[in-house]
Structure 1
Amino acid sequence: MLEGEELLARTCRHTSGSVDNTVRVWEASSGKEIGCFKGHAGDVYSVCWSRDGKGIVSGSLDKSARIWETSSGKEVGCFSAHSYPVWGVSWSGDGRMIATGSGDNTVRVWEADSRREVVSLKGHCCSVRSVSWSRDGRRIVSGSWDNTVRVWDPTSGKEVHCLKGHAGDVWSVSWSEDGSKIASGSVDNTVRVWEASSGKEIGCFKGHTKGVYSVCWSRDGGQIVSGSGDGFVRVWEASSGKEMECLTGHTRGVWGVSWSGDGRMIATGSGDNTVRVWEADSAY
Structure 2
Amino acid sequence: MKLKRFLLRYYPPGIMLEYEKAGELKTKSIDLLDLSPNTDSEKLAAAIQETEPLITASRTAQLRQLICRLQDKLSQQDNDRFYLFKTLQAHILPLTNVAFNKSGTRFITGSYDRTCKIWDTISGEELHTLEGHRNVVYAVAFNNPYGYSVAPCLLCTHPTLLTCYCWSGSSGNPCSHCHFVDFVLLPGQNRPPRLRRQSAGNYCLPSFWPFFGFRDKVATGSFDKTCKLWCVETGQCYHTYRGHTAEIVSEIVALSFNTEGNQLVTGSFDHTAALWDVASGRRVHMLIGHMAEISSVQFNWDCRLIATGSIDRTCKVWDMRNMKCLATLGGHQAEVLDVCFNYTGQLIGTASADGTARVYQAATSRCVATLEGHDGEISKICFNPKGSHILTASADKTARLWDVASGSCLQMLGGHTDEIFSCAFNYESDIIITGSKDNTCKIWRTQHGGDDAEQYYL
Task: Give the structure-1-normalised TM-score.
Answer: 0.84
Structure 2 letter corresponding to 1:46: A
Q: For residues 124-139 of structure 1, what are the structure 2 equivalents within 5 Å?
A: 124-139=290-305
Among 76, 88, 98, which residue is 1:5 paired with?
98
Q: CA deviation at 1:271?
A: 0.9
Q: Using a 3 Å threshold, how does the CA distance of structure 1 residues 6 and 85 change in structure 2: closer, same or farther?
A: same
Q: Using a 3 Å threshold, how does the CA distance of structure 1 residues 47 and 115 change in structure 2: closer, same or farther?
A: farther
Match of 1:84 in 2: 247
Among 18, 30, 34, which residue is 2:123 paired with?
30
Q: Deviations over 1:100-154 (max 9, x none)?
A: 3332333344566777655443322222222222122222212111111112234
CA distance in 2, matches of 1:125, 1:68: 35
CA distance in 1, matches of 2:336, 2:392: 13
Match of 1:61 in 2: 160
CA distance in 2, matches of 1:170, 1:282: 35
Q: CA deviation at 1:59?
A: 4.8
Structure 1 letter corresponding to 2:417: T
Match of 1:238 in 2: 404
Q: Does the residue aligned with 1:38 lie in a helix, a strand or coil?
A: coil
Relative to its length, the structure with more helix (as a share) is: 2
Q: Does the residue aligned with 1:257 lie in a helix, a strand or coil?
A: strand
CA distance in 2, matches of 1:118, 1:47: 27
Match of 1:208 in 2: 374
Match of 1:105 in 2: 271
How many residues get paired?
281
In the alignment, is the contact (CA less than 8 A) between 2:115 and 2:129 conserved in 1? no
Q: For residues 161-240 of structure 1, what are the structure 2 equivalents within 5 Å?
A: 161-240=327-406
Match of 2:418 in 1: 252
CA distance in 2, matches of 1:45, 1:270: 13
The range that moved more, 131-140 or 82-91, is 82-91
Relative to its length, the structure with more strand (as a share) is: 1
In the alignment, is the contact (CA less than 8 A) between 1:263 and 1:280 conserved in 2? no
Q: Using a 3 Å threshold, how does the CA distance of structure 1 residues 98 and 258 change in structure 2: closer, same or farther?
A: farther
CA distance in 2, matches of 1:23, 1:125: 35
Q: CA deviation at 1:217?
A: 0.4
CA distance in 2, matches of 1:278, 1:134: 28
Among 427, 439, 442, which residue is 1:276 paired with?
442
Percent identity of equivalent pairs? 27
Structure 2 letter corresponding to 1:84: E
CA distance in 1, matches of 2:272, 2:163: 14
Q: Using a 3 Å threshold, how does the CA distance of structure 1 residues 158 and 66 change in structure 2: closer, same or farther?
A: farther
Q: CA deviation at 1:210?
A: 0.6
Q: Using a 3 Å threshold, how does the CA distance of structure 1 residues 194 and 206 change in structure 2: closer, same or farther?
A: same
Q: Does the residue aligned with 2:99 lie in a helix, a strand or coil?
A: strand
Larger radius of gyration: 2
Among 62, 66, 73, which residue is 2:174 paired with?
73
CA distance in 2, matches of 1:149, 1:68: 32
CA distance in 1, matches of 2:326, 2:432: 31
5+ unaligned residues in a row in structure 1: which ranges?
none
5+ unaligned residues in a row in structure 2: which ranges?
1-93, 148-152, 177-216, 221-226, 229-241, 450-458
Match of 1:48 in 2: 141
Task: Give the structure-2-normalised TM-score.
Answer: 0.55
Q: Does the residue aligned with 1:152 lie in a helix, a strand or coil?
A: strand
In the alignment, is the contact (CA less than 8 A) between 2:114 and 2:131 conserved in 1? no
